[in-house]
Chains A and B, each alone.
Chain A
Amino acid sequence: MHVLDLDYMLGLLPILLGYLPLTLEMAGAGMLAALVLASLLAVVRVQRTPGLNALAMLFISFFRGTPLLVQLFLFYYGLPQILTFLVAINGITATILGLTLHFSAYMAESIRAAIVGVDRSQTEAALSIGMTQGQLMRRIILPQATRVATPTLMNYFIDMIKSTSLAFTLGVTELMGATQKEAASSFLYFEAFLLAAIIYWIVVEILSWLQRRLEKRLNRAYQR
């Protein structure tokens, strides 16, 4: 049994940190796209838009009902066989696409619950002064739903950051992929993966701290 090789870990740290931006970029892009898609899905579900509602339900059901890894393989290895223009899709794009579709399905349901949770009488009040459905959504409902949904959405974001590690299975050298390569050449698997775990952990802790500050800010209007 060997003792933890701290020198190796210290030397590895800057190398692995060099791959952190790609991890964060994939998660950031995926989160932004997922937020937009999830909000649209949620509004369609709440307003029961004919036709679109059924499609939204099917979409949510599929992307919640299948593993993210299966979806990534489907997009990256499977779809290009059928839709040939997708042959050029690279692993990073496929990962962002997969994260977006997968997480938007979950987020749509939390946003929908948050929208439904806004006191019905405020809807009536907005309509009573002549606001349109769109104005009501944008100015009254969504800002309040955002506050309710934020903790859950932040949790999905954290989950998404960790899920970017699956990009490694599509041949993307991000934090996880880089760790795997380094470990394979040094044979110090424990040190390498422990370091990767610590980096993910610290990133998530920083985000949790930001989440608490954000929630405090959003709750300001509701303090008695």
Chain B
Amino acid sequence: MIALHGITKRFGTHSVFEDIDLTLEQGEIIVVIGPSGTGKSTLLRCINYLETPDAGRLTVGDLSLDVTRASRREILALRRRTAFVFQNYALFANKSALDNICEGMIVVDGLSKAEAHVRGREILERIGLADKANAYPASLSGGQQQRVGIGRAMAAKADVILFDEPTSALDPEWVDEVLSLMKQLALERQTMIVVSHEMQFAREVADRVVFMDEGRIIEQGPPDELFTNPRDERTQRFLRKVLANNPVV
């Protein structure tokens, strides 16, 4: 189970969000939508401690910590239970596709190089890049790089994978291959929180869609309900705007 209780983040005196509560069951897929600059990505980064939350409690599996007095050890433990997929892929430029995937298994989980490579090749197979094991990030397309980024997150065997707008830096031609890999993970019931502007993906794949605006969770529910019958006026306005150009079927 993943649980956020009263998570608060401020930059200086500016409050990004206050008192956010969110709970996921094992195997649940949540897509967070909302206007730009409403704190969606920051919230996701707080779960992985890439941003330090100012107040609240984070629970991932059997680890629960008060963010105001989390020790370095607890932060590492939290990061080992969560994995992150970045908007700009953030692959290690000095490592091949296979080594990008294996790095965490070797350094963090303490697997031998041989064991890690066996698992790494399985993952490359699953992300459809078995033939690119020795290719370096610079020689891969955006879509391939992001699939390696997802492979690196899969290798972490985390309780939850956090996706931060995984397709928004991609050329349109590469979006589908990344989304279909994410769908495949969803079918395997990989627990995930996805911040995305891909409404069609949210509609098809999410168990629950969360709408955030101005640092607050305005409403959440199954995609069928939220997309067809949004209760809050802000949700209605946002959906009208984004769906006008790209209708969701």
Residues of A within 8 A of B (CB): 119, 121-122, 124-132, 135, 139-140, 143-144, 147, 221-224
Contacts and interface: CB of A to CB of B under 8 A. Distances in A.
A116 to B, nearest CB: 15
B90 A131 contact: no
A139 B103 contact: yes
A127 B80 CA distance: 9
Contacts of B22: none
A223 B83 contact: no
B139 A223 contact: yes
Nearest to B81: A130
Nearest to A145: B94
B87 to A, nearest CB: 9
Contact of A125 (B86, B96, B138): B86
B79 A222 contact: no
Interface extent on B, as a size class? Answer: 20 to 34
A119 B152 contact: no
A77 B166 CA distance: 64
Contact of A127 (B50, B91, B95, B139): B50
Given A129-B156, A131-B104, A139-B103, A119 B76 contact: no
B107 A128 contact: no
A129 B152 contact: yes
A129 B79 contact: yes
A224 B136 CA distance: 9
Given A128-B84, A129-B152, A143-B94, A223 B79 contact: no
A130 B90 contact: no
A144 B90 contact: no
A131 B91 contact: no
B83 A129 contact: yes
A221 B79 contact: no
Interface in B117-140: 136, 138-139
A19 B147 CA distance: 58
B30 to A, nearest CB: 18
Contacts of A139: 103, 107
Contacts of B79: 127-130
Contact of B86 (A124, A222, A223): A124
A139 B93 CA distance: 11
Closest 6 CB pairs of A and B: A121-B90, A130-B80, A128-B84, A129-B104, A125-B90, A130-B79
